[in-house]
Amino acid sequence: MDTLSPLRQAARLVAKDYAAPHADAVDQQARFPAEAITALKREKLLSAYIPAELGGGGVGLTELVDIVEILARECAATAMIFAMHQIQVISIVRHAMHSDWYRNYLRELVAHQYLIASVTSEVGVGGEMRRSNCAVDISGERFTLIKDATTISYGAQADDLLVTARRNPDAANSDQSLILVRKADYTLEQKGGWDTMGMRGTCSPPFLMCSTGDVAQIIDVPFGDMSAQTVVPVSHLLWGGCWMGCAAAAVNKARAFVRGQARANPGTVPPTALRLAELVSMMQSLRTSVQACLTEYEALSVADDAAIGTLTSMGYSLKMNNLKIDATQALPQIVTKALSICGILGYKNDSKFSMSRHLRDAHSAAIMVGNDRILATNANLLLVLKDD
């Protein structure tokens, strides 16, 4: 009996019927997974997190992580695009629901299934999300904003953008706002290509973005608070769903390979079965780590003191940073072990056991918000963090 929720069932349909058949072409051509994203829109999955009172699915983060994993088992690029979009939606829901402008925007998103991209990287600061060189320039009730971004994932295909910038031209580079800019109000000038090892379908080249808008589009909560309470932990958890899906895809291929060997020689245990047992243990450890942090975050995020409590503590920041580091180190190891089990059939690109795409996608995990940068942050935190 299928006990999946309706949105999980919809995600599985999208994964099997629209993501999987095009995943290799998306990877080979470094093209946007248009078929899968169109299907996600049709199934109303882009508004899954938006509260039911505004017409959305009203699901929690746990269900979103499950949906990301379901998609990633078939196409990691599709899953990552979905995850990055949901990070933007969650940020709006948790920090801008008091705004009439944003409540109306969320209703529009439900109706039209807008795809939101994030613009946090910038020339001069790289991927350092908590620093901006560009600034919002306000004149009366309008603003202008120009940002030279080093990457904008699916920028050319997005409907709207959420952009970080200094609060005003005189603000420090860490005094940031988050601003939503609408498709009709911005231009993108592509400044490079996207010919990468993995995650090729995310289509993340550099762009020069020029935008205008109404001041109501500037979220009044400081981005530093949003980052600590929502953006960083939610990003690591949703990305964790993507990494679990990528790992599960490799594990399932290895499991099928070993079972095939066993069927070919009834009554014997293939030598690869021992390696498979090790592999499943590694997969379980990854899943346990993500699930434990997810359960804790879901509980903390609804606590009355969430804004000033554990979520903003140095200890919690270390924990979430360590989840990202540990998971992104485990993922390539899992896929590599799956490759060793399948041997030459895992090495060949034209084999049903091929690990090529999974392995190349896996190596993106440590680079997205680079692990060295996170370790440097952790080192600074540990210098001032008191012992437990």
Span 39-54, mean pLDDT?
A: 98
Quote the distance between the C-alpha of residue 13 and its chain's center. Answer: 20
Mean pLDDT of 154-166: 98
Residue type at position 355: M
Total domains in the fold of the chain: 3
Q: Are residues 140 and 10 in the same domain?
A: no
In CATH, what number is assigned to the domain containing residue 189? 2.40.110.10
Final residue belonging to a domain, choices 183, 199, 219: 219
In a shared domain, residues 267 and 345: yes
Domain match, 232 and 195 both: no
If one compares 317 and 111, the residue with the highest pLDDT of the two is: 111
Angstrom distance (rounded) from CA 291 to CA 182: 35
Among candidate residues 219, 253, 283, the one where a domain is terminated: 219
- The answer to whether position 337 is within a domain reads yes
Tell me the β-bridge partners of 179: 163, 218
Q: Under 8 Å CB-to-CB from 354, ≥6 apart: which residues?
A: 253, 345, 346, 347, 348
Residue 183, classed as helix, strand or coil, is helix
Tell me, yes or no, whether 137 lies in a domain: yes
Cβ count near 100 (within 10 Å): 9
Q: C-alpha angle 138/140/141, rounded to 5°?
A: 85
Residue 76 has pLDDT above 50, yes or no: yes
Alpha carbon 108 to chain centroid, angstroms: 23
pLDDT above 50: residue 205 = yes
Is residue 50 domain-resident? Answer: yes
pLDDT averaged over the chain? Answer: 94
Asked if the structure places residue 249 within a domain, the reply is yes
Task: Looking at the structure, tell me whether residues 85 and 125 fall in a common domain.
Answer: no
Looking at residue 126, what is its pLDDT?
77
- Do 183 and 127 have their domain in common? yes
Q: Which residues of 201-240 are buried (b: 16+ CB within 10 A; e: fewer)?
A: bbbbbbbebbbbbeebbbbebbbeebbbbbbbbbbbbbbb
Contact assessment for residue 319 and residue 386, using Cβ atoms and an 8 Å cutoff? no
Q: Are residues 98 and 127 in the same domain?
A: no
Lowest mean pLDDT among 109-118, 242-251, 283-292, 362-371: 362-371
pLDDT above 90 (res 100):
yes
pLDDT tens by residue, 118-128: 999 999 987 78
Q: What is the CATH number of the domain that holds 317?
A: 1.20.140.10
Residue 371 lies in a domain: yes
The answer, yes or no, to whether residue 374 has pLDDT greater than 80, is: yes
Residue 387, pLDDT > 70, answer: no
Residue where the block lists tokens 């599960």: 248
User: Could you list the residue range(s) of the whole structural domain that residue 42 is in?
Assistant: 6-114
- Position 361 in a domain: yes
Specify whether 238 is located in the same domain as 340. Answer: yes
pLDDT above 90 as % of the chain: 85
Question: Parallel, antiparallel, or unpaired: how do β-strands 160-166 and 116-119 relate?
Answer: parallel
Rounded to an integer, what distance in angstroms lies between the CA atom of residue 88 and that of residue 46? 11
For residue 152, being part of any structural domain is answered with yes
Tell me the pLDDT tens digit for each residue of 298-347: 998 887 665 567 888 888 889 999 999 999 999 999 999 999 999 999 99
What CATH number did the domain enclosing 56 receive?
1.10.540.10
Are 215 and 227 contained in the same domain? no
**1 found inside a domain:** no
**1 falls in which pLDDT band (50, 70, 90)?**
very low
In the chain, DSSP assigns E strands to 116-119, 137-139, 142-149, 160-166, 176-182, 186-190, 207-214, 218-219
Q: What does the alpha-carbon distance between residue 356 and residue 335 come to, in Å, rounded to a whole number? A: 9
